[in-house]
Homo-oligomer: A and B are copies of this chain.
Amino acid sequence: MTYESLQSLHPIRINERRISERIRCLAKFGMNREGGIDRSLGSKADIQAREWLKNLWKTELQAAVAVDPAANLWAERKGKEKIKPIVLGSHHDAVANGGKYDGAVGVLLATEVVQSLKEANYKLRHPIKVVSFSAEEPNPYNISTLGSRLITGVLDSKQVGEATHVYTHEKLSETLKRLGGDVGNVANHLLTSDDVGAFLECHIEQGRHLTDHGLSLAVVSSITGIYREEITIDGEANHAGTTMMENRHDALLAGAELSLAVEQAVIGQGRSDVVGTVGHFEIFPNSANIIPGQAHLILEMRTSNDQVFKELRAQLADTCTEIENKRQIIIKRKTILDQKAVPMDPLVRTALQQSIKASGDFYLDLPSMAGHDSVHMVPIAKTGMLFVPSIEGKSHCPEEETRIEDIVKAGNVLIRTVIALDKELD
């Protein structure tokens, strides 16, 4: 592919009014009084969104609509050849009180791409599919990226079926059944590299890189590695009045030093693609007049750079030893997640980059600092992601927003990219 060949290609464009209207429509399902979206797996809003999407695909795309055993939704239009399809999509669920764009933009742009190609009467060699994955977000079953992980065989389907909704206690196997899935049948319908040629996901950035650079598009280079540790600090609970300062073994203060040291170590890397967070922090007995005897932390670090991870983990080990010696407390560490960074496919990345250049626009190359369904498509398909800006970086909240101009640009880039991949791929 060359810049010139793309530049001269089919001037197929998506329909701005239509995509704008569809984002508004999908947002109705589960919108609460504050304007946030409540649309978790199996909720009334989820069911409404699913019916609306399936109906849209049948009537507007004239596509074959299917629900797989993980209750992921699929639409398919045949290609000229019987080869592995190009798939576009994202998810339609939302975190509690979430925004209108996370997931929705990816699903609706995928729909728009297929419809625009159909309307332009452009015949692809490849079949083209749209997917909307089940339960990508943190949800009441405590299993995120459920649909993509279940259908690609990452999760144990039997174990998943036994999970229950934290409030209603409905078993996940029952929920999926209500949605047209069948957890007992997942093993017979796993998605493999035979089923998908390429996967493209457009998503909101959820960070500030694009907004800070005043740009509309980013091509994702990789999806961040995520490392989590459960840390227990054993100090000594004691009387907060009668225990002199020098005789204390305060677990809260040890945890405070550790949390601040993590922040310093991460900032010390001087990079924008590494973050570290202590998001969970509890102390015991948590009483005003008792010196904290134990602290429980969950520490998370994210980066796509293995060397950075290595350095941070070495610094963390040193810090823990220092604090243990200084405060005569014991720090117990347990790795609970060590998800490696996942690089995006070079061919798809290039296709995205050149499609953007062909439209005369600029882009950032960015690692994704959030996880996505794409992570789980990488092992089976040539996978790429396109980011659109989140205004002020706001996400997972009612204020989440992406300008329609940026969404339209992304849609047109996706059309060009699909056409380019259709030529390139077998």
Query: Interface on A for B, CB 8 Å cutoff?
Result: 138, 205-209, 224, 226, 228, 238-245, 247, 250, 252-253, 255-257, 259-260, 263, 266-267, 272, 275-283, 286-292, 298, 300, 302, 369-371, 390, 393, 395-396
Residues of B within 8 A of A263 (CB): 245, 250, 253
With the chains together, A290 CA to B138 CA distance in Å? 11
CB-CB nearest in chain B for A371: B241
With the chains together, A266 CA to B241 CA distance in Å? 13
- CB < 8 Å neighbour of A244 from B275, B371, B395: B275
Q: Can you offer 24 A-B residue contacts whose CB atoms are under 8 A?
A: A207-B244, A209-B244, A226-B241, A228-B288, A239-B395, A239-B396, A240-B275, A240-B279, A241-B369, A242-B369, A244-B272, A252-B279, A253-B259, A253-B263, A256-B260, A277-B291, A280-B283, A280-B286, A280-B287, A281-B286, A281-B292, A282-B282, A282-B286, A288-B300
New A-B pairs, 11, CB < 8 Å, besides A245-B275, A256-B256:
A206-B241, A206-B242, A207-B244, A226-B241, A239-B369, A240-B277, A245-B267, A250-B263, A253-B259, A253-B263, A277-B289
With the chains together, A283 CA to B390 CA distance in Å? 26
Q: Across chains A and B, which 9 residue pairs bring their CB atoms closest together, nearest first? A: A256-B256, A207-B242, A241-B369, A206-B242, A240-B277, A288-B298, A241-B370, A242-B369, A279-B288
Residues of B within 8 A of A240 (CB): 275, 277, 279, 300, 302
Residues of B within 8 A of A206 (CB): 239, 241-242
With the chains together, A22 CA to B255 CA distance in Å? 44
The reply to whether B289 and A242 form a contact with Cβ atoms under 8 Å apart is no
Residues of B within 8 A of A298 (CB): 288
Residues of B within 8 A of A257 (CB): 256, 260
With the chains together, A275 CA to B240 CA distance in Å? 8
Q: A242-B207, A393-B242 are in contact. Are A280 and B275 (CB under 8 A)?
A: no
Chain B nearest CB from A280 CB (Å) reads 5
The reply to whether A370 and B291 form a contact with Cβ atoms under 8 Å apart is no
The reply to whether B253 and A207 form a contact with Cβ atoms under 8 Å apart is no
Chain B nearest CB from A388 CB (Å) reads 13
Residues of B within 8 A of A241 (CB): 206-207, 224, 226, 275, 302, 369-371
With the chains together, A270 CA to B287 CA distance in Å? 26
Chain B nearest CB from A319 CB (Å) reads 13
Residues of B within 8 A of A244 (CB): 207-209, 272, 275
Do most interface residues of chain A lie in helix, strand or loop, or is the interface mixed?
Answer: mixed
The reply to whether B239 and A207 form a contact with Cβ atoms under 8 Å apart is yes
CB-CB nearest in chain B for A396: B239
Chain B nearest CB from A166 CB (Å) reads 13
Residues of B within 8 A of A291 (CB): 277, 279
Chain B nearest CB from A176 CB (Å) reads 24
Q: A241-B302, A242-B206, A395-B242 are in contact. Are A279 and B287 (CB under 8 A)?
A: yes
Residues of B within 8 A of A242 (CB): 205-207, 369-370, 390, 393, 395
With the chains together, A243 CA to B206 CA distance in Å? 8
Chain B nearest CB from A161 CB (Å) reads 24
Chain B nearest CB from A109 CB (Å) reads 20
Q: A207-B242, A292-B279 are in contact. Are A253 and B247 (CB under 8 A)?
A: no
With the chains together, A289 CA to B244 CA distance in Å? 37
Residues of B within 8 A of A226 (CB): 241
With the chains together, A260 CA to B248 CA distance in Å? 13
CB-CB nearest in chain B for A292: B279
Residues of B within 8 A of A396 (CB): 239
Residues of B within 8 A of A239 (CB): 206-207, 369-370, 395-396
With the chains together, A240 CA to B243 CA distance in Å? 37
Residues of B within 8 A of A207 (CB): 239, 241-244
Chain B nearest CB from A98 CB (Å) reads 11
Chain B nearest CB from A74 CB (Å) reads 28
The reply to whether A252 and B275 form a contact with Cβ atoms under 8 Å apart is no
Q: A277-B291, A287-B279, A288-B228 are in contact. Are A253 and B260 (CB under 8 A)?
A: yes
